[in-house]
Amino acid sequence: MGLFDKIIRKSTAEQQAELDRFLDKREREVAPCDDVVCDKDLHYIDDGNPRHQMDVYYPKSAAERLPVMINIHGGGLLLGCKRANRYYCEDMCRRGFVVFCPEYSLLPEVNVFDILRELAAAIDFAMSRADEYGGDISKLYLTGDSAGAYLCVYLAAARRCEGLAKAGVTAPNHDISALGLISGMFYTTRFDKIGIFLPNYIYGRGWKRSLIREFTNPENRKLLRALPPSLIITGDGDYLRGYSRSFYAAAKSAGVECELLDITDVKVIHAFAAMLPESDAGRTANDRTGDFLRRY
């Protein structure tokens, strides 16, 4: 293991410990929803790997079948867990969705091609089980925050972008009706703290000579034109706000049916809609997400 690998692992472990403390505090202070049921740790790949489990959130009672949402947690592809998005999943379930939230393997143990392969399997598994939980499998939505939003983009685009398949991106076997993208980590190769350090971990060494190179730019027109309708969410205080604004402008220019929710009347944190769904900004974003998705 090289020095830089050791630095990455040490920093990631410290950030994960900080996240765990935050989640412990949240669980002491925020009660779970009484009208939402959560079935935990379903294995979407039956290999005993805890990173290949998902939770499903469904209402105790529903008058009709509900659309299916797959929510993908963030963490820069280096950390994070489905537990972090518990309250977001409960919130979206109360808004009328059956919500599946998978874990997935993380850098540097795997690369993004492995992660996307796992998540494609997670989506297919969720759709095979959605009927049991009252889900309407004709309506499938992806939502994600930070790195989860980035993963949503590539999973959805892979359904219709032949170049991504040739580059090694695995597509799920189901079309995605629309996306909800919160504080997206869309840009991975810019000259910034993400693009300087992570591309070799994300795409593998030699990525600049591979077919994926053109698609590492999320403004690639072939990628964008393969996307379903998308709601892009950010706000003042989100440290990746510029990413969301740039991605929205590129998607709009490419003809993607998309909307930008940029909250400016209050300061927000990164991934606020997922991490603090009970906040005023979180409620605004999640109201908008539910309304947007149900149009498609």
Q: What is the mean pLDDT of residues 3-18?
A: 91
User: What average pLDDT score do residues 4-28 get?
Assistant: 93
- Per the structure block, which two tokens stand in for 187? 């840009």
Please tell me the distance from the alpha carbon of residue 50 to that of residue 53, in angstroms, as a whole number: 6
pLDDT at residue 243, rounded to an integer? 98
The reported pLDDT for the residue numbered 99 is 98
Q: What is the DSSP letter of 78?
A: T
Counting residues of the chain whose pLDDT is more than 70, the rounded percentage is 100
**Domains within the chain, CATH numbers bracketed:** 33-293 (3.40.50.1820)
| Token couple for 33 | 């929803």
- Among 32, 129, 151, 1, CA closest to 80: 151
Is the model's pLDDT at 63 over the cut of 90? no
pTM of the model: 0.98
User: How confident is the model over 210-236, as pLDDT tens digits?
Assistant: 999 999 999 999 999 999 999 999 999
Decide if pLDDT at 1 tops 70.
Answer: no
pLDDT tens digits for range 235-265: 999 999 999 999 999 999 999 999 999 999 9
Position with higher pLDDT, 204 vs 61:
204
Q: Is the model's pLDDT at 293 over the cut of 90? A: yes
**In which band, very low, low, confident or very high, does the pLDDT at 4 lie, cut at 50, 70 and 90?**
confident
pLDDT computed for residue 87 by the predictor: 98
| Residues 141-164, mean pLDDT to the nearest whole number | 98
% the chain with pLDDT above 90: 95
Residues 6+ apart with CB under 8 A from 238: 183, 244, 268, 269, 270, 271, 272
What value does the mean pLDDT take over residues 83-105? 98
Kindly report the number of other CB atoms within 10 A of residue 74's CB atom. Answer: 26
DSSP codes of every residue in 156-192: HHTTT-HHHHHTTPPPPSS---EEEEES----SSSSS
